[in-house]
Structure 1
Amino acid sequence: MSRLGNIGARLYRGEIGYDFIAHRKLWYSISILITITAFVGLVVRGLNMGIEFEGGAVFTTPKTTSSVEQTTESAEKVSGHTAIVQELGDGGMRVQVAGVDTKTSDKVKDALADELHVDTEKIDAQLVGPSWGEQIANKAWQGLGIFMVLVVIYLAIAFEWRMAVSAFVALFHDITITVGVYSLVGFEVTPGTVIGLLTILGYSLYDTVVVFDGLREQSKGVTKQTKFTYSEIANRSINGTLVRSINTTVVALLPVAGLLFIGGGMLGGGMLNDIALSLFVGLAAGAYSSIFIATPLVADLKEREPQMKALAKRVRAKRLKAEERESHEQAGNAEGADDAAGSEDDGPRDDPEAGGRQPAATGAPGQRRQPSSRNRGKGRSSGGRKR
């Protein structure tokens, strides 16, 4: 068995572990700080919505020698709107201009043809109306809301309402962080971003449900024992699935990182960046929330129940008695050790008046003493009594 597998087995058996529940206030504080930062980014910078949501035009050009800066300047000068230009892997350009109509689109197309020195007919132009983009945005929010409601209902039926509430908070936490990163980084929000968001919610729920399932199995009949509190059982569940969560998250992040850094950075990006960034941030946030947010929150909600409060009191009382018993045993062992040491000190001692080491009074090796009865006839004849 590998070293990591050995650690996972020891975590599962409860031989080692980290007390996640005891430090839950620290994790809550970190999550609140990250969430506030994400909200500030949304308010200050907002989201860079793609033309699929705002409407506009997308121009795809053939291979050209013009730079991205020159193409951007030319498109913005003609359209009067901000243009986003990306260099494609084949040497062409992808130009996005939001808020333009058909007439403005034709002018931008002609200007790009002159700037890039290509035929106008070789430039592919796609128009997206603002009403269509608004419908896409509304359907995306509706799909997200329906997904969240179904998740809460399923978890409430399969587990309990406290776990459903905790999972909902964890999902909201993951979405907020991912959207906040999009706002701070300035990536464009496209339908690919929505697909990535819905995908990461599934990954986040996977880790959360794995931990919840272990917690449900270990907490059966929890009130009938006095060895562990509910929070301690929840902590054992987290440690038991910790290595599994880390392994699945790392394995899922590796190909996503390839899409984001290799596919997006070297091959020109496009929709690869939109999907990969949301997946990368969401997967990491989902693994974090399932361990540091969802399960500690379940423990907090459960510990408020009267039965769990009574269980915690019984566990503390039992442990206090065990500590007192152990302290008494240690004190008794200490007294026995002192008595044994004292009996050893009853041996021969040095007598300064006798000029040397003398035997002990009783039971010690040394000169043998005769009883007084044996000395009664000493100095008398053996033939008869002295008259």
Structure 2
Amino acid sequence: MTRLGEIGHKLYTGDISFDFVGKRKLFYIISAALLVISLAAIPIRGLTLGIEFVGGADFQVSMPVASQTVDEVREAVEGSGVPELDDIEVTTIGDNTVRVQTRTLDAETEVPAVRAAIGEIAGVPGDQVTYSLIGASWGQQITQQAVIALFVFLALVSLMIGVYFRNWKMSLTALTALIHDLILTVGIYALSGFTVTPATLIGMLTILGYSLYDTVVVFDKVRENVRDIKSSNTKTYSEAANLAVNQVLVRSINTTVIGVLPVAALLFAGAFILGVGPLKDLSLALFVGMVSGAYSSIFIATPLLAQLKEREPEMKKLAARVAARRSKQEKAAAPADGSKSASKPAGVRADATSEPESTAEPTNAELAERGEGSADEAAESSSSPSIPISVGSASTPPARVTRPLSDAAAKRPQPQHKPRSQRRKS
């Protein structure tokens, strides 16, 4: 088994686990910072809208395309004498067509000058250069249709997730992840200065599918892990959801990497080789959307879902049962307090270093004074069988230890060692 396969197996079985749900506040802070930067970049830097949205002039001419064709055509248009042509866009279509897009030009004076400059580079008369005027109203129609398509898509997604999972909270968190991905993508376009074209809108609508795919995969595993969680007391909803994320983590990474690699190649070719064109606009939206979609499904959607579910009364009761069960297990595993002292035999002092009580026998004078007879008689009377309380090993004779009397026992009459002549006959 490969190293990645071993890690995936341990993640699936729970041998190793990353606490995505427990550290959700950290991920919320990171996402909030990214969203603030993206939202601030839109009004500060602004979006670079393509000619389809702001309107302009479009010129096309048939000519052989070489490595220097784009630069040559650009220099020719800029040198035509028409002012404010610094933001022109020159692209190639296939290997025999060049396309030039500029701002809206005056049809009487500026359009003929640009056509003549392009025709001179292409080796054709200026009237053979195709010219078309693109109005801003066409771009507004595209934007309106794209917004309508976005809202219809979000509504259908909400309905689909709600019916499939039968949980409106999953629909809410999935939509939150989608909006998160859209804002990040738009912010990246504002920061990078890439042109927003109809291809960009297509890419943004496409990334919604990728983001939704990752989220549904994770949610499906979450649903499987929490199917019978209300009747158990082994784990909370957050722990089951976190386990689901770990179980699909390797799959999400592999899917994202496999999908991002070709898109990254398209982005590199469009941005650094071709320079401009629909390929660059489409690939950037796909690249940012796929990466942010994988991120949001793991770090945003699932932790947010667990947070919403933990507020339910049933999930609170479940968390209390799990905590009580674990507390009971910890108490059972820990040693009971005072178990060592309880195992000591009765009559043995807890302090082993204390001095043992004196066991010396009283003298004859003391016994006579108390009327108890002589020491010899006491020794004779003490020869009756008795069970001394002793401590020590089995190999050495145990030392006799006198058991201390309690206050109640001291008040009771104590047995007296009397001579045989004074003992009461039974």
For Structure 1 versus Structure 2, the TM-score category normalised by the shorter chain is 0.7 to 0.9
Q: Deviations over 1:68-103 (max 9, x none)?
A: 76346346x516465333454859754321334644
| SS of the residue 2:17 aligns to | coil
For the structure 1 residues 180 and 65, does the alpha-carbon distance in structure 2 shift closer, same or farther, using more than 3 Å as the test?
Answer: closer
Q: Distance in 2 between matches of 1:238 and 1:66?
A: 50
Q: Deviations over 1:91-141 (max 9, x none)?
A: 975432133464444443234435776542553434322222211111111
Aligned to 1:351: none
Q: Distance in 1 between matches of 2:91 and 2:134?
A: 21
State whether structure 2 residue 66 is matched by structure 1 residue 55: no
Q: Distance in 1 between matches of 2:123 and 2:344?
A: 103
| SS of the residue 2:88 aligns to | strand
8 Å Cα contact 1:74-1:115 kept in structure 2? no
1:200 to 179, 183, 207: 207
Q: Distance in 1 between matches of 2:70 and 2:144?
A: 40
1:219 to 206, 218, 226: 226
State whether structure 2 residue 176 is matched by structure 1 residue 145: no
Q: Distance in 2 between matches of 1:65 and 1:196?
A: 26
Letter paired with 1:96? Q
Aligned to 1:43: 43
Higher deviation after alignment, 298-307 or 62-71: 62-71
| SS of the residue 1:58 aligns to | strand
Percent identity, please: 46
Aligned to 1:302: 309
For the structure 1 residues 292 and 362, does the alpha-carbon distance in structure 2 shift closer, same or farther, using more than 3 Å as the test?
Answer: closer
1:362-381 matched pairs, under 5 angstroms:
363-364=394-395
Deviation at 1:279, TM superposition (A): 0.4
Structure number with bigger Rg: 2
Aligned to 2:88: 84
8 Å Cα contact 1:167-1:294 kept in structure 2? yes
Higher deviation after alignment, 122-131 or 311-320: 122-131
Q: Deviations over 1:237-279 (max 9, x none)?
A: 1000000000000000010011010244223441100100000
8 Å Cα contact 1:56-1:100 kept in structure 2? yes
| SS of the residue 1:258 aligns to | helix
Q: Distance in 2 between matches of 1:275 and 1:117?
A: 33
Q: Distance in 2 between matches of 1:70 and 1:223?
A: 72
For the structure 1 residues 15 and 337, does the alpha-carbon distance in structure 2 shift closer, same or farther, using more than 3 Å as the test?
Answer: farther
8 Å Cα contact 1:24-1:292 kept in structure 2? yes
Letter paired with 2:155? V
Aligned to 1:11: 11
1:283 to 286, 290, 312: 290
| SS of the residue 1:135 aligns to | helix
2:256 to 249, 252, 257: 249
Bigger helix share: 1
Deviation at 1:32, TM superposition (A): 0.6
State whether structure 2 residue 331 is matched by structure 1 residue 327: no
For the structure 1 residues 97 and 335, does the alpha-carbon distance in structure 2 shift closer, same or farther, using more than 3 Å as the test?
Answer: farther
1:186-197 matched pairs, under 5 angstroms:
186-197=193-204
Name structure 2 gaps, 5 residues minimum: 346-390, 398-426
| SS of the residue 2:46 aligns to | coil
Q: Distance in 1 between matches of 2:285 and 2:142?
A: 18
Following superposition, which runs of at least 4 residues in structure 1 exceed 6 angstroms of deviation?
A: 334-339
Q: Distance in 1 between matches of 2:76 and 2:237?
A: 63
Higher relative contact order (CA 8 A, sep 6+): 1
Q: Distance in 1 between matches of 2:70 and 2:302?
A: 56
Letter paired with 1:322? Q
Normalising by structure 2, we get a TM-score of 0.74
State whether structure 2 residue 20 is matched by structure 1 residue 20: yes
Q: Distance in 2 between matches of 1:55 and 1:92?
A: 22
Q: Distance in 1 between matches of 2:344 and 2:250?
A: 50
For the structure 1 residues 251 and 362, does the alpha-carbon distance in structure 2 shift closer, same or farther, using more than 3 Å as the test?
Answer: closer
Aligned to 1:375: none
| SS of the residue 1:96 aligns to | strand
State the aligned residue count.
344
Aligned to 1:370: none
8 Å Cα contact 1:82-1:98 kept in structure 2? no
Aligned to 1:235: 242
Over the aligned positions, Cα root-mean-square deviation in angstroms equals: 2.9
For the structure 1 residues 58 and 245, does the alpha-carbon distance in structure 2 shift closer, same or farther, using more than 3 Å as the test?
Answer: same
For the structure 1 residues 213 and 365, does the alpha-carbon distance in structure 2 shift closer, same or farther, using more than 3 Å as the test?
Answer: same
Aligned to 2:100: 95
8 Å Cα contact 2:235-2:322 kept in structure 1? yes
Deviation at 1:335, TM superposition (A): 7.9
Deviation at 1:363, TM superposition (A): 2.9
Q: Distance in 1 between matches of 2:127 and 2:99?
A: 15
1:52-201 matched pairs, under 5 angstroms:
52-61=52-61, 62=63, 63=65, 64=69, 67=72, 70-71=75-76, 73-74=78-79, 78=82, 80=84, 83-86=87-90, 88=92, 94-100=99-105, 102-103=107-108, 104-114=110-120, 119-121=125-127, 123-159=129-165, 160-201=167-208
Higher deviation after alignment, 17-26 or 94-103: 94-103
